[in-house]
Structure 1
Amino acid sequence: MSEENLLDAIIAQAKLSKKQTTKQRKIVETAVKLFAEKGYANTSTSEIAKFAQVAEGTIFRHYGTKDNLLLSVILPFIKDAMPTMAESVFSGIMTQNTACFEDFLRALIKNRLLFIKENKEIFQVVVKELLYNDELRKELQPYFFENIMQRISKVITMFKERGELIDVSSDTLLNMIFNVVGSYFVSRFVLQLAYSDMDEEAEVENLVRFIMDGIRKPSQGM
């Protein structure tokens, strides 16, 4: 995924959509612009209705809630753009002098940390919906598995074959890494739990060290 703001990319895609009525396109474009300018939490459906020149009831009739309105534009965007964005991320990381798996892991965490910081409110809405919406999880799972998980699994397998990682299945290592990193992002950006006074760079290094201590293959001399 690129490091640009997702809302800008979503606006561009929404303008090209032929699946919505003129009124729906106006609502979507207005909503996303307001989200980008004021923040998702600070934008009300009444403001969206005012600037889109529609009744607030029209928004509720088409989308039900503000979360559903945002998801209605995020989900098509994720499905259409995920392959290209994933390719951009992984090709960028794997060309940054990635000499070992630790380098890859550190670059991946930093890349996604920056991305989530720039798109925090979208991340919060999507994660919240994924936690409670079984249908949404099933809908997005194939896209996520094919474009993200499989790519990371291939990288893990490559470094396993080089003798860097412990001799367990790549899927097991992937689940271990995903659980730790995913929990870190959710606790920081969704639950917004208080962290220590250490800076972001130190947080990332601690996270990388914690993971690598569990999956790094011990030296033969140890």
Structure 2
Amino acid sequence: MENNNLMDEVAKILQKSNKQTVKQKKIIEVAIATFAEKGYSNTSTSEIAKKAGVAEGTIFKHYGTKENLLLAIMVPFLKEFFPTMADELIGELMDDERSFEDFLRAFLINRITFLSENREIFQVVIKEMIYKEELRNELFPYISKVATERLIKVIEIFKQRGDIKDISNESIIKMLSTVIGGFFVSNLVFLNKHSVSEKEIEEVVLFILNGLGQFH
């Protein structure tokens, strides 16, 4: 993704959608623009309603809460564009010279930068997935499938180079998902940090290498 502001990226593809009514589309357009400009927490439903030229009750009628309004924006976007985002990321980070250690470090730095700049959105989506089983069942298997398909290709490359132990891909993916996913969520959601230090990233890299890396 060329732009780290996720709302700006969402706005680019909104015009392709014909699934909302005219009124709903206007609410979504205004919400995206305002979230991008002011941040999620600094945007109120009353402000969105005023800019969209609708009653605040109309937003509550269609979406219920500000959290649900954000999910109405993010869930379709993630389901349509997550594969492309994943392919772009892998293409950006992989090359013939990069070791598994360098790949891990570059991946963590890249994703921490992206998630930090979209921290409020990430927090809402993760918290809603934790507490809403229906949303969790809709998003998690899909994201997991897309990520797994691409990770297996990356893992096989580093296995062939001798950078990763020859253990099952399933075990490797479980380890990476648990460690990296836990690192992102614990720091940016539960601890509510605005950023993560280079030292913390380096500790995660070394932790994973001690479990997966080949040392000669």
Look up the match of 2:197.
200
CA contact (8 A) 1:94 1:104 kept: yes
Distance 1:77 1:194, change over 3 A: closer
2: CA distance, partners of 1:193 / 1:50: 30
TM-score of the aligned structures, taking structure 1 as reference length: 0.89
Local SS of the residue matching 1:17 = coil
TM-aligned CA deviation for residue 153 of structure 1: 2.2
Question: What is residue 74 of structure 1 aligned with on the other side?
Answer: 74
Distance 1:87 1:56, change over 3 A: same
Deviations 1:19-78 (A, max 9, x none): 111111111111111111111011111111111111111000000110110110111111
Cα offset for 1:194?
A: 6.9
TM-score by length of 2: 0.91
When residues 62 and 194 of structure 1 are mapped into structure 2, their CA distance, relative to the original with a 3 A threshold, is closer
Structure 1 residues without counterparts, runs of 5 or longer: none
Read off the aligned partner of 1:105 and give its amino acid letter: L
Residues 46-195 of structure 1 aligned to structure 2 (within 5 Å): 46-95=46-95, 97-98=97-98, 100-192=99-191
What is the RMSD computed on CA atoms of the aligned residues?
A: 2.1
Residue 200 (structure 1) shift? 1.9
CA deviations 1:71-90 (Å, max 9, x no partner) are 10111111111121111100
CA contact (8 A) 2:71 2:125 kept: yes
Q: Is the 8 A contact 1:28 1:73 kept in 2?
A: yes
Distance 1:169 1:65 in 2: 43
1:6 is aligned to 6
* Residue 211 of structure 1 pairs with residue 208 of structure 2: yes
Output one character per residue of 1:84-107: Cα deviation in whole Å (capped at 9) or x when no partner: 111110011003831x21111111
Q: Which amino acid aligns with 1:49?
A: A
Q: Which residue type is aligned with residue 61 of structure 2?
A: R
Asked whether the equivalents of residues 104 and 205 of structure 2 are also in contact (C-alpha less than 8 Å), the reply is yes
Which of 152-161 and 170-179 deviates more?
152-161
- Structure 2 alignment gaps of length 5 or more: none
User: 8 Å contact 1:14–1:73 — kept in the other structure?
Assistant: no
- Shifted more, 89-98 versus 25-34: the winner is 89-98
The alignment covers a number of residue pairs equal to: 216
Distance in 1 of aligned mates of 2:142 and 2:64: 26
Q: For the residues of structure 2 that align with 1:113 and 1:194, how far apart are their CA atoms?
A: 11
2:3–2:9 Cα contact (<8 Å) kept: no
Where in structure 1 do 4 or more consecutive aligned residues deviate above 4 Å?
none
